[in-house]
Structure 1
Amino acid sequence: MRLLLVDDDEALMEMLAERLIKQRYAVDIANNGEIAQEFLDLFTYDLIVLDMLLPDIDGITFCKTCRQKHISCPILMLTAKDDSKDKVRALDAGADDYVVKPFDFEELCARIRALLRRDGQDATSTLKWGELSIAPDTFEVLYGNHQLHMTPKEYALLELFVRHPNRVFSLDAIIDNLWAFEDPPSGDAVRTHIKGVRQKLKAGGAPKNFIETVYGLGYRLKALEPTALTEAKTPVPASELPTQADMEAAIAKAWEVHQDTMQERLTVLEAAVAALDIGQLSPELQHAGRSQAHKLAGSLGCFGFAEGSRLARKLEQLLQLDVPLDNEQVFQMTSLVEGLRQNLANGGSQQAVSTAMASTPQIILLGAGAEFSQALMSFGTASGLRIVAVCDLTQAESKIREHPSDGIVIWLPPPRAARAMDLLERLGKKIGEKPLLVISDVVDFRQRLIWVQQGVDRILPRSTSPQQVIQDLKQLLQDDPTASKVMIVDDDIQVLDFLKTILSPWGFQLTTLSDPTQLLQTLETVQPHLLVLDVEMPEVNGLDLCQVLRADDRWQQLPILFLTVHEDIPTKQDAFKVGADDFISKSVMVTDLPMKIKSRLQHMQARE
């Protein structure tokens, strides 16, 4: 935790700072109000110790200024004045405590600890997170019954995380909180401290990822497992979970809501073509027509109007021409608009339903009996997974070729276990990093070791309920969805609504933004793990946004995917030049986008 001492008695402050540093605090010293204000502009402090009389300003005025600037950390007033009126003035100005000089160092440190507890996690003397306990008074760290011996900086680092368990700390934020202004370490040094804390926690029985890496952002404490387990044990009615019928209804409803907008966009194009036909196409109408054609190309593709999307894209290209169009081009535009109207009249949302369902995660279940298979299929459908059951293990490989899967579950009773080794090895190679679960009561250690070496991710007993199997599958598919926050920026509301529909079964936490000018502010609030950008948007270009983010230390490592109707090579090259991680056409986004997002998040995890 970081403290600021504001007092012109340098000798006294040096002695106090030395005491506080021994208690694992980072301490900065300012000998007047101007320097103190400069520190406050640079850093966030957990507590301020403030003298009543400073060379350039009195402490009461400085305290009031801090509160007016919404600096909310505790302020302890330190002064030689012991008059009760001065105490009242200080407390009314916003001070939290008042200590009179001369003071006892131990008492002052105890008051500081008390103020930090009051402003921190809770009002108790012990900080807790799961089985981890920290005693700020004695600097003892316990995990369960195991005492962990931490270096001063390791202790300070752990206390910082426990006092703010839901906050993600970047390397810069950790340095700002734990090191004095005059002695900042390198990023590698901070990583070394984090590694040391993780090793000591693991040795004491904590999970390996007790302090987890939030990709591209920093570090934080992992959410407590008991809460997740309690929620997992609570039965969730199937009616509350997304089913295939729910998805079909959602897409159909989305089309019903937005089809009038599509017609309005088509009307603008018809007006542009009519004006062009009589030689009265204004620049404003041409711009409006080009904008509506661009949006139609993207949104129609989402709803299954593949041909309509192609026609709109051609119209956009023609309307981009600055030179006057010749008669042949005018005739071509008229034909394109007529074809677009017919395509909309013929409908296309059902194709979108089929395509979206094809993007739902598919799991192949091998070797299970009819009763278990039926139950798993039912719970899978309720949870947004499609289960394909294959009873005969000899048909496994052919079925996997017929039905490309996102994961495999194999039911292996003891008689089949030995014969399944070759099959597991072949399946492990075929599915790569995708989840592979085995349900078996085999307890032989060597047998289980071979399975794990062949790529098996989980071995579950045959008593495991279908609900639990689905929970394990979703956990493996989503790679901890609570940490997978995806933000999408597109000026087309229809596209954003459709993306919510097709991405919801994958468990991502979605944030959509239709106003790209609000991107930086929203990024600060959401702190996403992956960003999806459209290329062409009003007011600001997606390529320019990407360029700005790559120049910002906070977002240099943020994965950025471009999702656009533009499929030309120059646009793709421009995207990668400004720092894009991937480029996806809206025409194939239903099938490609979920897997691209998942793959990119897995890649980031592997790098960490």
Structure 2
Amino acid sequence: MRILLIDDDESLMEVLADNLIKQHYAVDIANDGEMGWEFILLFNYDLVVLDWMLPDVEGVSLCQRIRTKGYKMPILLLTARDRANDKVMGLDAGADDYVVKPFDFEELTARIRALLRRDIHVASSILKWQNLSLNPKTHEVSHQDQLLPLTPKEYGLIELFIRHPQQVFSPGAIINNLWAGEDPPGEEAVRTHIKGLRQKLKAAGMTKDTIQTVYGVGYRLKAIEKTESHSVKSNQSDISERIKAAWATFKNVTQERITVLEQLTGAISQNQVNREIHDSAKSAAHKLAGSLGGFGFPQGSIIAKEIENLLANDLTDQIQEQQLIRLVNSLQIEIQHQPFVDHAINSLGKTISLLLIEREIISENLSLTKRLIKDAEQWGIKIQTAARFKRAREIIAANPPTIILLQIVFPDGEDLAFLEEIHQQIPLLPIAVVINNAQFNDRLELVRRGASLVLQHSLATSEIFTSLTQMVKNLGSETKIMIVDDDPQILLSLKISLQPWGFIIKTLEQPEEFWEILESFNPDLLVLDIEMPEVNGIEICQVLRSDHRWQQLPVLFLTVHHDQKTQHQAFAVGADDYIYKPILGAELANRIINRLQRSRILKSGGLAVSDSDF
């Protein structure tokens, strides 16, 4: 395991490093925050020990930066600051433990071991790919329950590929991962181990090309072939029919909820309001606020939320009563005069946000840009353009796109530097490159800098969009999402909106069945509503985080509650993201993918396996 120590007290760090090395940890030392950050970008660390007072930056700021960029390794703050509010500040910044100087070396190393044990336990669940199963605890790989007799390096290879099933690894990248801390061999050693692994996979019953050679680039697992039975337009048509069928099923339920609101306004007119009518109306408004936006009535959700807010307390005067009556009438009109329309399909369907970057606007580039913009809508793609890298950075920082398409006129230093910069900042953001007459060396350099796809400038827009949509579809491929909400309308609309992204969706309407479904489905991400009968989402998250097996499962709250108090409660019990209803399907899918990317950064750590590990 690899530990990074960031502290300008060299003598202290050397003593601590010696103690850790004797316990068979690999240790790096950085004397300031910037050097520490460079190390984190370069290597996968299992734990970071971080001083508060550094010569160039406060450790708390660096801790926040590490968490903001999606790194999930445990962080132990080591500092002379012992005030209670200092500890609170450090832990709120993302630290997992806080040790005050002067410290006892045995206690400190015991805390380090405890953090590492916790992290290993969380990240060591069985990994699966097709019929292969890999156990990170025992370093065993089996195919259909048949154990494969792998060497340590062959195990390291298959673990690397299974953890990153869509990534191509160059021989150099494989050497960096499998021979970390050792004298690196030549690329011939990689080819030898690949050959041996292929033979053992074939002997176990898998195809010879399970590990594919991407010529001129490296190696990857063979992509799982999926038959495309429909064109983009027919897929949209299929989504349309499913959404229309869902609306037909729940339209009456929606009207029943509006009727409950009308019963309240009628009771107000007759001065016969009681607690039961008031609470029923509040519950109906809450459900309408969450569900209407998903079926193409975003304004209806807004009106319903205003009604819910008004009913949060008893109506105290005639002005509030009249306001409620107007809102209920407006909601009824909204539903009657805005029947199910095409934009509901678009909002639930799959819209890809594409950032198109042109470094130089010349006639050939401009022609391609016009063609892409003209055809983008029918492919469900929303394009933003940036002619300068500065503008591109602003767009990416404000709202990261689903995919980047970078047009390169000349593969010079500035183009490549920008490509590498974005890839390092957001490692799993797909970046496609359009280039003319790319030679082998050009392609190799582009892939090394972070390009996920290299396209020729002369391709038709249909070929470019086909390649891009396939890349995006693979982002959520086979990822399991569990959604808990007591409103079947919302569950159905979310399921329809997320399925086009390749997710496997499991919905749950009865929160009391949560634990049984959670353990049987084993999701990669959990989406929770907050306000539910019997048990609410906050309580479910608390129960989840109390079990060590689920402490690292990404949890996303999807709710109509906008107040700061509820948000703080959600994050305090372990939420990873907090999203307001209603939300477009594409936006929700992007938020899920971004959260999964951060989670996968954690799981991609500690891949190197040396002979000494066995």
TM-score range relative to shorter protein? 0.5 to 0.7
- Per the alignment, in what secondary structure is the counterpart of residue 404 of structure 2? strand
Aligned pair 1:601/2:554, yes or no? no
- Check conservation: 2:355, 2:405, Cα contact below 8 A: yes
- Which amino acid counterpart does residue 456 of structure 1 have in structure 2? A
Whole-angstrom CA distance in 2 between matches of 1:532 and 1:130: 26
Deviations, residues 153-202 of structure 1 (Å, cap 9, x unaligned)? 9996426x44548xxxxxxxxxxxx9xxxxxxxxxxxxxxxxx9795216
Q: How does 1:490-529 map to 2 (within 5 A)?
A: 490-529=485-524
- Which amino acid counterpart does residue 336 of structure 1 have in structure 2? L
Q: How does 1:96-495 map to 2 (within 5 A)?
A: 157-158=139-140, 161-162=142-143, 164=145, 199-201=152-154, 206=158, 208-210=160-162, 226=210, 232=225, 236-239=228-231, 243-321=235-313, 323=314, 325-347=316-338, 349-350=340-341, 351-356=343-348, 359-362=351-354, 364=356, 386=381, 405-409=401-405, 416-418=409-411, 422-423=414-415, 425-426=417-418, 433=426, 434-438=429-433, 442-445=438-441, 447-452=442-447, 454-459=449-454, 473=468, 476-477=471-472, 481-495=476-490
Partner of residue 97, structure 1: none
Structure with higher Rg: it is: 1
Aligned pair 1:581/2:534, yes or no? no
Whole-angstrom CA distance in 1 between matches of 2:383 and 2:505: 28
- Say which structure, 1 or 2, has more relative contact order (CA 8 Å, 6+ apart): 2
- Which amino acid counterpart does residue 201 of structure 1 have in structure 2? E
Whole-angstrom CA distance in 2 between matches of 1:130 and 1:596: 27
Whole-angstrom CA distance in 1 between matches of 2:588 and 2:554: 14
* Offset at residue 530 of structure 1 (A): 0.2
* Offset at residue 601 of structure 1 (A): 0.5
* Offset at residue 507 of structure 1 (A): 1.5
* Offset at residue 543 of structure 1 (A): 0.8
Decide whether aligned partners of structure 1 residues 500 and 293 sit closer, same or farther in structure 2, where only a CA change above 3 A counts.
Answer: same
Q: Tell me whether 487-496 or 238-247 shows the greater mean CA deviation.
A: 238-247
- Which amino acid counterpart does residue 257 of structure 1 have in structure 2? T
- Which amino acid counterpart does residue 306 of structure 2 have in structure 1? K
- Per the alignment, in what secondary structure is the counterpart of residue 161 of structure 2? coil
- Check conservation: 2:527, 2:557, Cα contact below 8 A: yes
- Which amino acid counterpart does residue 281 of structure 1 have in structure 2? V
Decide whether aligned partners of structure 1 residues 310 and 450 sit closer, same or farther in structure 2, where only a CA change above 3 A counts.
Answer: same
Whole-angstrom CA distance in 2 between matches of 1:155 and 1:596: 31
* Offset at residue 478 of structure 1 (A): 5.4
- Check conservation: 1:475, 1:481, Cα contact below 8 A: no
- Check conservation: 1:491, 1:537, Cα contact below 8 A: yes
Whole-angstrom CA distance in 2 between matches of 1:132 and 1:589: 36
- Per the alignment, in what secondary structure is the counterpart of residue 281 of structure 1? coil
- Which amino acid counterpart does residue 337 of structure 1 have in structure 2? V
Q: How does 1:3-22 map to 2 (within 5 A)?
A: none
* Offset at residue 260 of structure 1 (A): 2.1
Decide whether aligned partners of structure 1 residues 243 and 483 sit closer, same or farther in structure 2, where only a CA change above 3 A counts.
Answer: closer
Whole-angstrom CA distance in 2 between matches of 1:208 and 1:435: 19
Unpaired segments ≥5 residues, structure 1: 1-128, 135-152, 166-177, 179-195, 214-220
* Offset at residue 516 of structure 1 (A): 1.3
- Which amino acid counterpart does residue 564 of structure 1 have in structure 2? T
* Offset at residue 535 of structure 1 (A): 0.4
- Check conservation: 1:242, 1:505, Cα contact below 8 A: no
Decide whether aligned partners of structure 1 residues 527 and 241 sit closer, same or farther in structure 2, where only a CA change above 3 A counts.
Answer: farther
* Offset at residue 242 of structure 1 (A): 5.8
Partner of residue 542, structure 2: 547
Whole-angstrom CA distance in 1 between matches of 2:269 and 2:258: 16
Whole-angstrom CA distance in 2 between matches of 1:551 and 1:363: 41
- Per the alignment, in what secondary structure is the counterpart of residue 329 of structure 1? helix
- Check conservation: 1:376, 1:467, Cα contact below 8 A: no
* Offset at residue 504 of structure 1 (A): 2.3
- Per the alignment, in what secondary structure is the counterpart of residue 296 of structure 1? helix
Whole-angstrom CA distance in 1 between matches of 2:472 and 2:350: 16
**How large is the Cα RMSD of the aligned pairs?**
4.7
Whole-angstrom CA distance in 2 between matches of 1:231 and 1:466: 25
Whole-angstrom CA distance in 2 between matches of 1:417 and 1:554: 50
Unpaired segments ≥5 residues, structure 2: 1-128, 166-200, 212-220, 359-363, 604-614
- Per the alignment, in what secondary structure is the counterpart of residue 567 of structure 1? coil
Q: TM-score, normalised by structure 1?
A: 0.56
Deviations, residues 28-56 of structure 1 (Å, cap 9, x unaligned)? xxxxxxxxxxxxxxxxxxxxxxxxxxxxx
- Which amino acid counterpart does residue 346 of structure 1 have in structure 2? H
- Check conservation: 1:397, 1:427, Cα contact below 8 A: no
Whole-angstrom CA distance in 2 between matches of 1:326 and 1:455: 62
Whole-angstrom CA distance in 1 between matches of 2:438 and 2:232: 36
Deviations, residues 286-320 of structure 1 (Å, cap 9, x unaligned)? 22211111001111222333332222122223333
* Offset at residue 545 of structure 1 (A): 0.8
Whole-angstrom CA distance in 1 between matches of 2:505 and 2:539: 23
Whole-angstrom CA distance in 2 between matches of 1:352 and 1:499: 13
- Per the alignment, in what secondary structure is the counterpart of residue 243 of structure 1? helix
- Check conservation: 2:497, 2:586, Cα contact below 8 A: no
- Per the alignment, in what secondary structure is the counterpart of residue 491 of structure 1? coil
- Check conservation: 1:479, 1:602, Cα contact below 8 A: no
- Check conservation: 1:560, 1:582, Cα contact below 8 A: yes
- Check conservation: 2:348, 2:493, Cα contact below 8 A: no
Whole-angstrom CA distance in 1 between matches of 2:522 and 2:339: 36
* Offset at residue 547 of structure 1 (A): 0.8
- Check conservation: 1:359, 1:502, Cα contact below 8 A: no
Whole-angstrom CA distance in 1 between matches of 2:282 and 2:153: 61
* Offset at residue 564 of structure 1 (A): 0.4
Partner of residue 9, structure 1: none
* Offset at residue 490 of structure 1 (A): 1.0
Partner of residue 189, structure 1: none
Whole-angstrom CA distance in 1 between matches of 2:256 and 2:133: 62
- Which amino acid counterpart does residue 502 of structure 1 have in structure 2? S
Whole-angstrom CA distance in 1 between matches of 2:151 and 2:263: 65
- Which amino acid counterpart does residue 294 of structure 2 have in structure 1? C
Decide whether aligned partners of structure 1 residues 281 and 534 sit closer, same or farther in structure 2, where only a CA change above 3 A counts.
Answer: same
